[in-house]
Homo-oligomer: A and B are copies of this chain.
Amino acid sequence: MDVSIVGGSGYAGGELARLLFQHPKATVKHVTSRKNAGKPISLLHPNFDGVSRIKFSLPDMDAVARDVDVVFLATPHHTSHAFVPDLLDTGVKVIDLSADFRLKSVERYEYFYGEHDHPEYLEKAVYGMPELHAEAIKNAMLIAVPGCHASSAIYSLYPVLSNDLIEPFPIIVDSKTGSTGAGIVPTPASHHPARANVIRPYKLTGHRHTAEIEQALLPSLAKNQQHAFKVSFSAHAIDAVRGILSTVHVFLKEELDSERPLYKAFRRFSKNQPFIRFIKKNAGLFKLPDPKTIIGSNFCDIGFEKDPLSSRLVIVSALDNLVKGAAGNAVQCFNIACGFAETTGLDAMPIFPL
């Protein structure tokens, strides 16, 4: 399958390139970057030194439409608006890693992101979460890949919400993330002397991913729970390059006699999902998920602890923000949309320790 990566100079674009270069069914025809056109991609992504001679090209949508079947957009938010309609008209499948087509509601989009140039495509896009929407992804022409924090939150909450085990409010998602999540452009906040050793609350309220978390989870709730449903999300920057851990504090609907329904909910959710691992061990250093153990892989690990002193349940999920939180998930959607085995090109084991 011939594919293009539009917006290949950032971290998600680089990670897409790494996964697609090694994908047995994909041939990368273009990696575009307006600013770096003509330069070898190894200039920005030095892991490709000697392993790929491909050069950045200009984002020429005619060439893309002519040469490939599937295009991955790893462009900044708002940039996809311009490309998507024309690409779809030519029959190319679009897998968009930006936030542009993740939300169904124009109002919510505009509240969080500002004006949308093509709101008519919002309904057509499929939210690219294979664990929830595999069927829709199969036939989708426009796939909106979920946000990294959103994925982490949704995987944590879906098992317990869909089994009606927890209250629909309050739901606290306290997320911690490495520095690649903020992108490749240097800023005062990303400057190493300022960014190293931080434990920085960078977005305590009003985080944009709140909208897609709620949208994705709402249908899983019982009808009479939906009106009260609300997710309270906060994001922190810590000293790591990759990785997200979301700590989700929720409250059980009623005191359970045993933890069996919880185990059952998480096991059932993860059982048939190749990239969701339910982690709960009695021994060893990593009894619960920690991004450290899955960096570079497409896994999302989930685990939980029941608070013995209250009705609180704490769920944690760990993923690599550039893989399961972006490029890896995009490739998983690509596999489904193209009829390949879901794990094609995504089965490298994590490297540990990193």
**Chain B residue contacts of A312, Cβ below 8 A:** 170, 172, 205, 232
With a cutoff of 8 Å between Cβ atoms, the chain B residues found around residue A195 in the complex are 192
Chain B residues with CB below 8 A from A180, complex form: 193, 353
Contact string, A242-278, partner B, CB cutoff 8 A, digits 1/0?
1111010101000000000000000000000000010
At the interface, yes or no: A66 with Cβ under 8 Å from chain B? no
Select the stretch in A79-87, A216-224, A286-294 that faces chain B: A286-294
Q: Mark A327-354, 1 if CB is under 8 A from B, else 0.
A: 0000000000000000000001111111
CB distance from A51 to the nearest CB of B (A): 5
Q: How large is the interface on A (under 10, 10 to 19, 20 to 34, 35 or more residues)?
A: 35 or more
Residues of A180-202 at the interface with B, using a CB-CB cut-off of 8 Å, are 180, 184-201
A141 adjacent to chain B (CB < 8 Å):
no
Q: How far is the CA of A14 from the CA of B285 in the complex (A)?
A: 15
Shortest beta-carbon distance from A245 to chain B in Å: 4
Is the beta-carbon distance between B249 and A249 smaller than 8 angstroms? yes
Determine how close the nearest CB of chain B comes to the CB of A54; give it in whole angstroms: 12
Asked if A189 and B47 sit within 8 Å, CB to CB, the answer is no
Task: Tell me the bound Cα distance from A318 to B200 in angstroms.
Answer: 9
Question: Hey, which chain B residues are within 8 Å of A296, CB to CB?
Answer: 296, 351, 354
A178 to B197, CA, bound (A): 9
Are B241 and A192 neighbours in the complex by a CB distance under 8 Å? yes
Q: Using an 8 Å CB-CB cutoff, how does the interface string of A122-161 with B read, 1 for contact, 0 for none?
A: 0000000000000000000000000000000000000000
18 CB-based A-B contacts, threshold 8 Å:
A21-B349, A47-B294, A176-B238, A178-B193, A184-B191, A189-B285, A192-B241, A194-B285, A196-B239, A198-B240, A200-B245, A201-B247, A204-B247, A204-B316, A205-B305, A234-B249, A241-B353, A296-B351
